[in-house]
Structure 1
Amino acid sequence: MDSAIYVTLQKKASSFGAHIARFARLKPTKITVGAVLLAAITGCSSVGFPQVSNPFQTLPAPAPLDGVMPGEGQVLGTGAVNVAMLLPLSGDVASVGQSMANAAKLAMDFIAQSPNIGSNITLTIMDTAGNPSVAAARASEAIRGGASVILGPLKAESVRAAGAVARSSGIPLIGFSNNSGAASQGVYLLNVLPETEVKRSLAYAQSQGRQAFAAIIPNTEFGNIQNGAFRQASGDLGIAVRAIYRFSNEGEARGVIDQILPFLSSGAIDTVFLPDRATASSFGVLMEEAGLDKDNITIIGSLDWSGDLQIPQTAFLVGAVYPAVDEAGLAALRPAYEAQFGATPHALSTISYTAVLLSNSQTLSQSQPRYAQNVLTR
């Protein structure tokens, strides 16, 4: 069922560049833009801005733990090469982490059942609790346990923390964050990055005849990356950018609406890039309260909108478009996942599945040294 994914991975050596793994090139499918339209549901009646945040931050992260006890981890496979996977199996995004862990187990099963592939690795899945301090501790444990490469963690902060530990020991780490700022020497990323998704999103709107763009982006670290991606993509596509608005709190966000309202009303701006998942619904409510005609405005979200529960309930965002990973890869994984675990896999499960197959590949696991930088980056 997953042979197409494996065949694609045979081309993996060219897909690592600038110390960032381009997940869109590793998957057997492409990113589609505009394929997801939000269902028509009654919008919110009031607005309240949550604190702007990075992707996945839906609840406060656990406080740093003192005296972290070693994690036992779940050991899968019998290969000679030790690989660790760090995932948030507890904490605020535990459901995502567990789904990714389940997909990793399926990948190991696929390897074991495919003699033509060869079982090169033993995989240990460890819980980071979605906490950078725990992630760093788990990375240390993995290295002491003989890991030749570390896969994960998920969040950018945890990737940085675990990556620093791995780098100091000369062990490569392939994180699952979509924040390109988390990548560094010896720390790679396996995900769809803002630089890719923003360009494709803007190109889609441009193809629909939209001509005058603006962006509303939070003053966060990830917002800075999205801002840079928006500016770069706009320049590459020859798009006219009328304004870029930044905000740090609710007062500034309301001020942004006051500033942009005349331009949206007059048609001087016809497209708004609104990437922040945490505040998208609040901006949608404010735009509706301002009496704007949403049929004359294109709202472009980000990949982080995917799976959000509040956004589809915001009337003004009905018809908004945002990039989504093509369903083909997830569809290939879904039957076996549902049969074994009785649930639907999270979209990010394809990343952990791919990461396991990648780490098991002969080219990487048997290179000297294993997972050598010249093999990962060529």
Structure 2
Amino acid sequence: MLKKISFLFGFLALAGCQSTVVTQGGAEGSSTEISEVTLGNDGTFRVGVLLPLSGNAAKQGNGLKNATMLALEDVNEPNLILQYYDTKGTPEGAQVAAVNALNQNSRLLIGPLKSSSVQAISEEARSRNVPVIAFNTGSNVLQPGIYTLGLMVDEQVDRIMTYAANHGRSRFALLIPDNKTGVAVARAAVKSAQKNGVKITRIGFYTPGTTDFSDISKQMSDYNARTGRLQNLKNSLKAKVNAGDANAAKVLARLNKTDTLGDVDFDTVLIPESGAGLKAAVAMFGYYDVYAPQVKFIGTSVWENTPLNRESALRGSWYPALSRSHGSYFANKYANLFGERPSSLYSMGYDAVALSAALSKKSGADLNETITNPDGYLGINGAFRLLENGQNQHSLDIVEVRPGGDVIIDEAPKKFDLMEPFDGNSAIVLEPGYQAPRIFGKDTSTAQSLIYGRSLGLENQPLDYIPTAQEKEIVREGLQKLNIVVPE
């Protein structure tokens, strides 16, 4: 049975209470210089909260602090003490903060924010057997005792691809940034495709931050081949028209209204992009004759940060998101208290404190064993569980973009009974006859080495041409969809 964090039993009633953040002896000030002070064991459960309260990431750090203080008020656990330490947004600052927190009897550390800072404190925390619950999802810093509540890329990719596969989508293209995140998306997509019995047909890489997707979209959509195919047919018909074939003239007139002939070899495009970049990418696919609903656009949780309902090309698209079952309570209360809507990152801070409250009641228990309870917990962001390797699993909604606003079309499961953890970072084992996707925007061998951990053999390489029989079938199907019969 799923373990429920205690605040969920009473937070609806709390919503009507006076909205004031109070320290009630539970929240103590921050420290930045190494201190030799050691607090006695007074029966309280002390949690060191390591955040960038100054420096470049101060906005996120203070937002997280606000969220943790809001959670402290809601859980109303008198034995829980939060002690705040400023990491200054640097690994060195994080080390100082961690030493102070540990010297002052913190039994659990929440934070830091950046992967470099998590790495900087890991050895010290593990040597003192104090668990760390961070927010960064870099798999290179996660290990037993060093956990993250951050939303993992691989679980997002698997959730959306599994949903798409279960709803008839079988051939996927990936348009991904040429960076670590893009590679993580590609690895997870390849593994999810294997799990779901679907195929990744092509992967396009783009420069992070760009809004110019014209070239990569043109390549991925086989625009030149599809326009060339149409032009060849038109040329053949023109010869018949010149010979006096009236039927050929009618067919040619209809074909003159189209730009391409034949479908692309994918029915779904995964784009882990947001904002102007996402809108530009989808618009360019449309420009090169790749449209919904024939092709479904899907994304990751970053889509939630972009208003999409006014984008006609994205209507009907899907993306995964943290469960919204209880998130509105947190978002509304945070906005009332602090004058702005919280990011999803801040809700992680809330859940970290709620989890701390649950741990504070386990007197004498092995914290790591309790933290990694396979039944998981139910928080503001829905069901989640922390895994022994430091990664996590969230129960995610599937959201559809509609004109009136995004709508949940598949609610996040509330139990992990039937949900096996998905590890997109483990080695990819290729099945016999596996054919790798075509690569665009990057050297194929380099891309394969990043995704598969090695350059693949000739037997796994994609075809760089279309066999004659397949080409004829593409033309036949294309004309059939246009309801056109070409005269012999």
The corresponding residue for 2:477 is none
Structure 1's 104 and 221: CA in aligned 2 closer, same or farther, altered over 3 A? same
Alignment match of 1:215 (pick from 169, 174, 199):
174
Cα deviation per residue 1:305-342 (whole Å; 9 max; x = unaligned)? 33247x77876445432211122221232444344334
Structure 1's 324 and 251: CA in aligned 2 closer, same or farther, altered over 3 A? closer
- 2:51–2:111 CA contact under 8 A, matched in 1: yes
The corresponding residue for 1:256 is 216
Distance 2:128 2:321 in 1: 36
Give the 3-state SS of the residue equivalent to 1:323 in structure 2: strand
Question: TM-score scaled to structure 2, two decimals?
Answer: 0.54
The corresponding residue for 1:237 is 196
- 1:89–1:127 CA contact under 8 A, matched in 2: yes
2:117 paired with 1:158: yes
Distance 1:155 1:313 in 2: 34
Which amino acid is 1:352 matched to?
G
Distance 2:330 2:47 in 1: 22
Cα deviation per residue 1:37-92 (whole Å; 9 max; x = unaligned)? xxxxxxxxxxxxxxxxxxxxxxxxxxxxxxx95399xxxxx972221122344455
2:69 paired with 1:105: yes
The corresponding residue for 1:376 is 371
Distance 1:312 1:120 in 2: 46
- 2:221–2:264 CA contact under 8 A, matched in 1: no
- 1:359–1:365 CA contact under 8 A, matched in 2: no
Distance 2:82 2:213 in 1: 45
Compute the displacement of 1:188 (Å): 0.8
Cα deviation per residue 1:146-182 (whole Å; 9 max; x = unaligned)? 3221112233333333334423443221112244443
The corresponding residue for 1:269 is 266
Which residues of 2 match residues 1-378 of structure 1 at below 5 A? 5-6=5-6, 70=33, 80-91=44-55, 93-112=57-76, 118-247=77-206, 256-262=216-222, 266-277=263-274, 279-308=277-306, 316-317=313-314, 319-362=316-359, 366-368=363-365, 371=367, 373-378=368-373
Which amino acid is 1:80 matched to?
T
- 1:107–1:353 CA contact under 8 A, matched in 2: yes
Distance 2:304 2:139 in 1: 19
Unaligned runs of 5+ in 2: 10-30, 36-41, 227-261, 374-488
Structure 1's 125 and 288: CA in aligned 2 closer, same or farther, altered over 3 A? farther
Structure 1's 179 and 206: CA in aligned 2 closer, same or farther, altered over 3 A? same
- 1:83–1:149 CA contact under 8 A, matched in 2: yes
- 2:171–2:267 CA contact under 8 A, matched in 1: yes
Distance 2:274 2:34 in 1: 32
Distance 1:283 1:79 in 2: 56
Which amino acid is 2:150 matched to?
N
Distance 2:295 2:82 in 1: 48
Structure 1's 303 and 243: CA in aligned 2 closer, same or farther, altered over 3 A? same
Task: For CA contacts below 8 A with separation 6 or more, give which structure has more relative contact order.
Answer: 1
Give the 3-state SS of the residue equivalent to 1:351 in structure 2: helix
Distance 1:283 1:138 in 2: 42
Unaligned runs of 5+ in 1: 10-67, 73-77, 113-117
- 1:257–1:287 CA contact under 8 A, matched in 2: yes
- 2:85–2:97 CA contact under 8 A, matched in 1: yes
Distance 1:163 1:170 in 2: 10
Distance 1:89 1:273 in 2: 36
Distance 2:196 2:106 in 1: 43
Give the 3-state SS of the residue equivalent to 1:348 in structure 2: helix
Distance 2:104 2:296 in 1: 51
Compute the displacement of 1:343 (Å): 3.4
Distance 1:280 1:164 in 2: 39
Which amino acid is 1:376 matched to?
I
Structure 1's 283 and 359: CA in aligned 2 closer, same or farther, altered over 3 A? same
Compute the displacement of 1:187 (Å): 0.6
The corresponding residue for 2:433 is none
Give the 3-state SS of the residue equivalent to 2:118 in structure 1: helix
Give the count of matched residue pairs: 305
> What percent of counterpart residues are identical?
26
Distance 2:117 2:213 in 1: 29
Distance 1:90 1:312 in 2: 36
Structure 1's 82 and 342: CA in aligned 2 closer, same or farther, altered over 3 A? same
Structure 1's 225 and 168: CA in aligned 2 closer, same or farther, altered over 3 A? farther
